[in-house]
Amino acid sequence: MKNETTLNVPRENARHGSIILPVNSYHCFVPETYTELALHWHEEMEITLVREGTSDYKVGQKTFRVRAGDILLIPPYCIHSASEIPGETMLTDSLVFHLDYLGAKSQDISAAKYMRPMKEGYFQMPERIKPGDPGYANIKDAFLRSLDFFLNKPAFFEISLKAELLNVILLLFKNGYVKETTESRNAAENRQQIKAVLQYISEHYREKIKISDLADLAGFSESYLMSLFRQYVGMSCIQYIIHYRIQEAARALEETSDSVAVIATDHGFDNISYFNLQFKKYFGMTPREFRKAEK
């Protein structure tokens, strides 16, 4: 599985809003909405408020347990996932929005100093803000106002929504949650190259992509790319590939009537027995059992 491995990187396929309003909201109740939210990433920033309950989250390289009241901050291109804690429930509301909507593409000074560096990953922020942390109440209120404007769409909501989301960003800066990254220039450039690789894979994931091709794209040796991939994603390329293929195959089992063999082949598994083995490892049941359970 060396150079011939087909890579499927979990860029989320959902469109978060429209071209003219790149914002969307998500109301999730675990375990009904999901029991496991597979590792994925997207170009947009995501802010999530945990209304009730608890669950396990992975944001970047950190894994932690969230509780009621926590505010989760997920910057663009950040790998993240969530999973149910057996016997526990969780209720969340999220807003996912593109920083271009807030002016990251503009040529003014606020874009140059704040929005564009945030979009491009030159700022760092904590994975979550807890009740009692500096500015928590104001940030939560601004988030809830943003959510209300988006969901209820009162008169002039387009202006109000943008203003309130900008207010959230402002409060994050004012309370010290967004800071220039302490990583070296070389590390920042490496991270940008990994982003470019992820972007390329997301556009060609159904094609066979050699790791050597990705290394050439990034300007790295294969071994260095593999090392950086583990560093930034938190697992090896091979583990990541299998994880995503299985998740996408499960989606196909739910949404299509294609045979298990066709789905396996279409998602990069040449050996049906290996596909069945890996699927059962992740879901605790065979693909056919999974399809029956989802009907």
Q: Report the CATH number that the domain containing residue 233 is assigned in CATH.
A: 1.10.10.60
Task: Please tell me the predicted confidence (pLDDT) of residue 2.
Answer: 29
Closest CA to 172 of 142, 150, 148: 142
In sequence order, what are the residues at sequence separation of 6 or more whose Cβ sits closer than 8 angstroms to the Cβ of residue 18?
A: none
* Burial 206-235, CB ≥16 within 10 A → b, else e: eeebebebbbebbebebeebbebbeebbbe
| pLDDT for res 35 | 82
Find all residues with CB under 8 Å of 147, minimum gap 6, and list them. 25, 93, 95
pLDDT at residue 122 in the model? 84
Same domain as 216, residue 142: no
- Predicted confidence at residue 95, as pLDDT, reads 98
pTM above 0.85, yes or no: no
pLDDT of residue 287: 95
Q: What is the pLDDT of residue 283?
A: 85
> Phi/psi of residue 61, each to 5°?
-100, 5
Instruction: Determine the structural domain holding residue 283 and report its residue range.
Output: 185-294
pLDDT recorded at residue 85 = 95
pLDDT at 1: 29
Give domain status of residue 151, yes or no.
yes
pLDDT at res. 184: 67
Angle at 85 between CA 84 and CA 91, to 5 degrees: 60
pLDDT at 10: 44
Residue 9 lies in a domain: no
pLDDT at 41: 82
Task: Provide the CATH number for the domain around residue 95.
Answer: 2.60.120.280
- 200/289 same-domain check: yes
Q: What per-residue confidence (pLDDT) applies to 14?
A: 55
Which pLDDT belongs to residue 120?
84
Residue 8 lies in a domain: no
* Domain finish residue from 146, 180, 214: 180
Please report whether residue 7 resides in a domain. Answer: no
Distance of alpha carbon 154 from alpha carbon 61, whole angstroms: 39
State how many domains the chain has: 2
pLDDT in tens, the chain (295 residues): 223 333 333 455 555 778 899 999 999 999 998 888 877 888 899 999 999 999 999 998 789 999 999 999 999 988 888 999 999 999 999 999 999 999 999 999 999 999 999 998 889 999 999 999 999 999 999 999 999 999 999 999 999 999 999 999 999 999 999 998 776 667 777 877 877 777 777 777 667 777 888 889 889 999 998 898 888 766 777 777 777 788 888 889 989 999 999 999 898 888 999 999 989 988 889 999 999 887 6
Q: Is residue 159 part of a domain?
A: yes
Residues 140 and 109 in one domain: yes
